[in-house]
């Protein structure tokens, strides 16, 4: 579902604002693309993260995975309910919504499978906000344990 920001459901606005603020915590000296994320857990706890770059690009970690994996490590019995992501470059938020990369989509899918529940994904852009009801909406042909077991 596409919204303009004022029409984003109230329950997601706090997540969006936290994701936006987390772009200030990003370490992105190479790409200059600062990303922030916020994850709402089933007990109301909100966990945040920001992208962390490294000169060895393969060692970089996206904001979504930082937040999701921190949540899993520190709140293992609390399921993620919603995740918001925002990005800025040169001090301006992206006009179009920023979407999770393929690796983040796979981690989101694994979290949905782990907790047997969907995660709402709210992707912020200054001119539009896109909401997906599940990671499967973003990655319909996911890699699952059934592929591993069939080997």
- Point out the residues that are catalytic: 64
Token couple for 147: 């592929």
């Amino acid at each position: 579902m596409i919204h303009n920001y004022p029409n984003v459901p109230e329950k997601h606005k706090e997540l969006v604002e936290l994701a936006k603020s987390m772009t200030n915590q990003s370490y992105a000296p190479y790409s200059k693309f600062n990303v922030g994320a916020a994850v709402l857990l089933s007990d109301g706890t909100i966990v945040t993260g920001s992208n962390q770059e490294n000169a060895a690009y393969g060692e970089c970690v996206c904001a979504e995975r930082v937040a999701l994996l921190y949540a899993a490590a520190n709140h293992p019995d609390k399921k993620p309910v919603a995740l918001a992501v925002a990005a800025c470059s040169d001090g301006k938020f992206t006009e179009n919504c920023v979407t999770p990369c393929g690796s983040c989509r796979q981690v989101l899918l694994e979290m949905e499978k782990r907790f047997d529940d969907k995660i709402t994904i709210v992707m912020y852009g200054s001119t539009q906000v896109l909401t997906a009801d599940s990671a499967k909406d973003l990655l319909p042909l996911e890699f699952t344990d059934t592929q591993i077991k069939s080997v």
